[in-house]
Amino acid sequence: MEYHEQIEEIISTAKFGDLIEFSYPIGYSHWGVYDGDGYVVHFAVAEEGKFMNRVRTSLQAWFPVCGDLLLGSTKIRRMPVGEVTVPQGAHAYISNNGHAFRASDPVEMRKRRDALLDQQLTYKLLNLNCEHFATFIRYGKSVCNQIPGKAKNVECEEATETFQKIVDTGKTDENVNSEETTKNFNCEEKGDDVNSEEPYYPHYP
């Protein structure tokens, strides 16, 4: 079956919350979650464009691991299934049977999706990758079964906690750090203003 036919089959049969696996010919996969209407939500590169696509292709040729590993800051994005960038020879299909967990209620999946969509995070091969994201949306637990030497179907608690914190608070660690920096800067500015005032000398009759 040609790749475009695989995409058409996904769009015609997938349901919201299904895991979509983009299997690369070298044995690794990129993962996303079907979001209905032909769209997938996945942990993807924040900036696309021809240049980034070329960089991604080159890096995948040298170090082809789940998702967009070496491109630094990555973003959780919603896009048409057929527009997810994959290397030549990749296969795409619904893959709900590769993890030993029960799917969450769709209401809970949507809550997680809504909280995480468009969030920008740092991609970590072992502790925060595309499969961790996709399984968290579907199961509420982050799992990655394609890390060499690691047991399968074991929750990555660090990834789960990272995603769940965003769901609970709406903030990433990066956002919190940025807010703290801004807060400290504002405090310093206020301090400077106080120090710049004329000293007060009490007047005694």
Is pLDDT of 75 > 80?
yes
Contacts of 84 (CB under 8 A, 6+ apart): 22, 30, 32, 40, 42, 44, 92
Hey, which residues are catalytic here? 30, 42, 130
pLDDT digits (tens, 9 = 90+) for 164-180: 999 999 877 655 454 55
pLDDT attached to residue 200: 44
Is pLDDT of 185 > 50?
no
Is pLDDT of 105 > 60?
yes
Whole-prediction pTM: 0.75
Rg of the chain, C-alpha, whole Å: 22
Q: How far apart are CA 82 and CA 108, in angstroms?
A: 26
Q: How far apart are CA 4 and CA 1, in angstroms?
A: 8
Q: How far apart are CA 140 and CA 103, in angstroms?
A: 8
